[in-house]
Amino acid sequence: MVEENKISIAVIKRLPRYYRYLGELLANGVTRISSKELSRRMNITASQIRQDLNNFGCFGQQGYGYNVVLLYEEIKKILGLDKNYNMIICGLGNLGKALSNYYKFDRLGFNFIGLFDISQEMVGTTWNNIRVGCVSELESFLAENEVDIAVLTLPKTSACKVSQTLVNGGVKGIWNFSNVDLHIPDSVRVENVHLTDSLMVLSYGLNEG
Amino acid sequence: MVEENKISIAVIKRLPRYYRYLGELLANGVTRISSKELSRRMNITASQIRQDLNNFGCFGQQGYGYNVVLLYEEIKKILGLDKNYNMIICGLGNLGKALSNYYKFDRLGFNFIGLFDISQEMVGTTWNNIRVGCVSELESFLAENEVDIAVLTLPKTSACKVSQTLVNGGVKGIWNFSNVDLHIPDSVRVENVHLTDSLMVLSYGLNEG
DNA sequence: TAGATTGTTAATCGATTAACAATC
DNA sequence: TAGATTGTTAATCGATTAACAATC
């Protein structure tokens, strides 16, 4: 049995940044780039860039460097950005509303197909052309629609329970903005955005200069 | 000359999580906790907990463990949460508006004292009881007010330029939500929240099961 | 006192960086 | 061909885990 070559999370987290820089090069009409030049721009070592990329294949050419378009498209595929994803939002508070209106996600292939909230005031209203449903309808919605990603923007009190419903409903990934650690099976991917934690990291040592 | 014991960023990023779990214990009336029991709850090793904490001091007691209140208060201090911070938001799009209305920041000691936007439609409107000013007024505002943290929720086109104004104006930290890497002096702390990057990390390998 | 659990040193593991043969 | 730059192996560095003496 061949051991699946597990890519480290540190590498994966750097991929979007590579993708971003390559996109800029592309927009500027740059057709080739060496790991050395990219390292200068991104402020990481050329060694790391080459190591990172070679986890996924040999995209460069000795003496030449990397073809920008080709590498851009490869990373796009690696990140799964060549596919489309059905998304729902659970929790239409300020943050949920903001995310529902963020046009860029759509352009990247992440499409909102459902919005859900708990409060009766929100249910029935429309955001981004989608009617807000009640969280109680979530189970049947998941049964009828293939949902790839659920955005969890509920307060922590309800987030845990709803995450169970999402898991049972076959959601593949949860983008968790609620301030709890979800305890769900490894088969469902979780990406946390803990805003409060992030702000606390910023305030650490801020007055020491 | 004594080499300043530099705390690694990995450790710092774990502190808010410790703080969160200790807060829960506190709320549940738990008065003492061992690294072993905390490790079980947080799903990290007891060794790591003890190593992390001992970067900052000896807060435990052999044979007893850690006093929850005491440790909670210590981490609060370490994170700088015993102080108050003046914050402004640059960019009152959906995300900026959402953050301006997030009541929890205020409770943690992060107080909004100014809001700024580029668009003429936004300038003059009121959010969270604060009048939105124009970004062109930013320089004079920074001269007259001590701003600790600036939240950067502008599109990347304007984010770079505004970050310069913020640095020149003496801001200590920037909470950067814009999709660029800011090139500013090390003396100003930056904490990035790259939402698009985060979503891409989630979509990585999502369809492979 | 005996048991529990810390603080800390040592061992291990993984990630980053350096070096260089291969080759375009 | 000579120069440039990759892919990859080896060396280094740092972070995590294990072990245990100290001690409450």
CB B59 within 8 A of CB B74: yes
Q: What is the pLDDT of residues B79-108, one digit of tens each?
A: 999 999 999 999 999 999 999 999 999 999
- Paired tokens of A127: 């955001």
Hey, what long-range contacts does A163-168 have (CB within 8 A, 24 or more apart)?
Answer: A165/A135, A165/A138, A165/A139, A166/A90, A166/A138, A166/A142, A168/A139, A168/A142
Check if A85 contacts B (Cβ < 8 Å): yes
Task: Tell me what pLDDT residue A209 has.
Answer: 57
User: Do residue B199 and residue A110 have CB atoms under 8 angstroms apart?
Assistant: yes
Q: What value does the mean pLDDT take over residues A96-112?
A: 96
Q: What value does the mean pLDDT take over residues B18-23?
A: 98
Task: Tell me how many helices (H) and strands (E) chain B has.
Answer: 9, 10
Residue A201 pLDDT > 70, yes or no? yes
**Nucleic chain D: which protein residues 31-70 of A have CB below 7 A from it?**
34-36, 46-47, 50-51, 53-54, 58-66
Residue A3 pLDDT > 70, yes or no? no
User: Do residue A199 and residue B105 have CB atoms under 8 angstroms apart?
Assistant: yes
Q: What is the pLDDT of residues A151-161, one digit of tens each?
A: 999 999 999 99
Q: What is the pLDDT of residues A34-93, one digit of tens each?
A: 999 999 999 999 999 999 999 999 999 999 999 999 999 999 999 999 999 999 999 999
Task: Tell me what pLDDT residue B8 has.
Answer: 97
The gap between A179 CA and D23 C1' (Å) is 38
Measured between alpha carbons, how far is B136 from B165 in angstroms, rounded to an integer? 10
Task: Tell me what pLDDT residue A175 has.
Answer: 98
Q: What is the pLDDT of residues A111-124, one digit of tens each?
A: 999 999 999 999 99
Residue B139 pLDDT > 90, yes or no? yes
CB B120 within 8 A of CB B135: no
Residue B4 pLDDT > 60, yes or no? no
CB A26 within 8 A of CB A72: yes
Q: What is the pTM (predicted TM-score) of this model?
A: 0.97
- Paired tokens of A18: 């590579």
CB A188 within 8 A of CB B4: no
